[in-house]
Structure 1
């Protein structure tokens, strides 16, 4: 790891000049190079930066005079965020940076999140923030592999506590830039959603057969951030096909739970034209933090505490119908082929006779609604099995084999991206 790496440093150099230069100095002492981007509006840095605030405003088709004339710091910083994220994306595409680090309070963090989302997975992205890990940050603002560090004692001016944080952050982003193995698959990738293997067995049944067929398989834990990571990669065209079998992130969004993957869940692959096989796993529950009360209408409902972090409330038959309609509407927006596997005998390990989530009447309502709403262009496969049965996995493999045979799935890795 002797190659010099270049880190993009983003911040308001009019108010955080000393802190930002401290980070630059630490990275240089580690043997790295830096590009400094000033996203200030009113003031000026103590010394010129590589990318000035004028450059940032121009990238958003504005001038600093225009930004100031907005007369509102929120509007002004959103303009700067637009320019900064465009420049960040451009610098990465040109191979001029190997990672980014941004510093900020609420304003700087808001801007930094846009810059981080402009970078592909595998490019280190660190945000040193006074609100790191805060509930103020909406989950769908977070990029798939973002790293956040709490900026303790860092609101105004350098001090011992602040320098301890900033020096660690500088080392973290530079070390990550040196150590990262960028995604470069030598075989087509299948993206799959699931939950733990104790609840859903299809990933166990499918992974090795898919590998034997020449695929790489990436399984995403569908608890909010996992779904966002899948959507981010699908948007980039990373997958040869997506097996989107777990839908409760859409249910969580419907119910107002913060354990969601954003408004675009189950849309990115379809927009790209990537083939999708979908299923309704866990379409009978919504998740919420176990340390909070359930959202809204679920507060007086029975729930299952999976651990001290996450709990799940059971949906009624009508709510399962509502979720089925939402899932169907999302899938029908796809530009590529979509096939839906409907296991009529149950949708996870807790949905069997004798288990607390088993509700035959509500399950029948859910199955009935999917039979009604999954219509062309989506192809419905009505299966007389449980989702954990081998028959479910066999049907998924049958679809994959047909798509490979007819050219829907191309086995050349250059087809991705």
Structure 2
């Protein structure tokens, strides 16, 4: 009977005993196979290593393989990521692996998690046992679904505590890989043409009513499956990644607030590539400016001094004790609109499949009349810049006099996407 196969990334020059223990725990029940790949710095000879670091390096450059040990630590980590990533990706594409695991310290964790992020899609089982798992792990996980397990003790020789943790890790990755393997092996109940359309929606606390209404309408009236992404930086990145992985068919990017953080310097930026994936993929895309009235910071005392000084005192709103919002100015809104326009214009392959909706009645829950972020001049700068910058681009820009959280605006956004989806279906 076929079994799932788990790839183990091991720094065998420094963690051989621990890695072999992990391998043994995975394979001893006979329910899963293991492929041990050495991503260590110094070559190691051991019969249980299936792919050596020299073999990995040789796939990229014969000369580099001979001098691998001469690289500095930083150079070696970067180089081994470049060697291991295409190797692991190739195994995944051929359906030859069904889970990945590693156990390492700081350098090995950086290496292994980079390979996991770069080579494997969301949904593929990924487990990292690490001495770093109890600290700031954002740079290790980014927008992916890597599972981290804290090693508690250093991975420096087997002992009772570490062995138990590695045993648990083996059980966890074997179980996840088995579930993944079985799900991939099942025949599809529906033909590809009847698979539900997968729709991504962006949401923030202050645009939740809009996102909820859109989701309810699409699920109730169409054969769509809806994925809601919390626009907190990682959420926007995750949606962009899923579009690139072809795991989303259309996007309702209602809440583009992460762009305000990228432009102004808030803490919830999704990076400079935000808003590009759907445009490049040529899939139906409805974009709005939800929560572009705000920049996010932590507790009030973390707001940068340049925004609280007497000469530049800004409108602040305490969303909760851990989140302080700052109202965007007209000048900042011009920059935000410029970012959105450039991202769409510079990357769009099907302008006719993109619509921009501007809710002039208010772009967030707290930007309507009588609310603290009501500032018509800033909103006008946002709307007018978008209209001007996208004029002649082939991308439709439409104003609507309702607020973003008005149910009828939500229905307009939802039906606008449906119209674009039907257009693509008619072309097939």
TM-score, normalised to structure 1, is 0.88
From 374, 389, 394, the counterpart of 1:377:
394
2:160 aligned residue: 160
Residue 9 of structure 2 contacts residue 112 of structure 2 at CA under 8 Å; is this kept in 1? Answer: yes
Bigger mean CA offset, 274-283 vs 329-338 = 329-338
Q: Give the whole-Å Cα distance in 1 for the aligned partners of 2:95 and 2:371.
A: 54
2:46 is the alignment partner of 1:52: no
Structure 1 range deviating more: 84-93 or 153-162: 153-162
Aligned counterpart, 1:415: none
Corresponding residue of 2:419: 402
Structure 2 segments unaligned to the other structure (5+ residues): none
For 1:170 and 1:205, locate their aligned partners in 2 and report how far apart those are by CA, in whole Å: 43
Match of 1:328 among 341, 345, 350: 341
Q: Deviations over 1:33-66 (max 9, x none)?
A: 2111101122415444111112211233353224
Contact 1:187 1:411 in 2 (8 A): no
Query: Quick one: distance in 1 between partners of 2:270 and 2:203?
Result: 14
Tell me what 1:224 maps to. Answer: 233
Q: Which runs of 5+ in 1 are unaligned?
A: 413-417
1:346 matched to 2:354? no
Asked if the contact 1:385–1:392 (Cα under 8 Å) also holds between the matched residues in 2, the reply is yes
Tell whether the 8 Å contact from 1:272 to 1:335 is kept in structure 2 after alignment.
yes
Q: Distance in 2 between matches of 1:369 and 1:105?
A: 49
Cα distance change of structure 1 residues 51 and 33 upon mapping to structure 2, 3 Å threshold: same
Using a 3 Å threshold, how does the CA distance of structure 1 residues 193 and 159 change in structure 2: closer, same or farther? Answer: same
- Structure 2 distance, partners of 1:298, 1:171, is 50
Please give the TM-score of this superposition, normalised by the length of structure 2: 0.86
CA distance in 1, matches of 2:315, 2:131: 37
Question: How many aligned residue pairs are there?
Answer: 407
- Decide whether the 8 Å contact of 2:43 with 2:52 is kept in 1: no
- Compute the displacement of 1:29 (Å): 3.5
CA distance in structure 1 between the aligned counterparts of 2:65 and 2:150, rounded to whole angstroms = 30
Q: Which residue is equivalent to 2:291?
A: 282
CA contact (8 A) 2:284 2:417 kept: no
Contact 1:59 1:84 in 2 (8 A): no
Alignment RMSD, CA only? 2.7
Deviations, residues 96-115 of structure 1 (Å, cap 9, x unaligned): 11110122223212211222
Residues 79, 276 of structure 1: CA spacing in aligned structure 2 closer, same or farther, 3 A cutoff? same
What are the equivalent positions in structure 2 for 1:289-308 lying under 5 Å apart? 289-290=298-299, 293-295=302-304, 297-298=306-307, 301-308=314-321
Q: Does the 8 Å CA contact 1:279/1:340 hold for their aligned counterparts?
A: yes
Separation (CA, whole Å) in 1 of partners of 2:257 and 2:161: 41
The structure whose residues are more often helix, as a share, is: 2
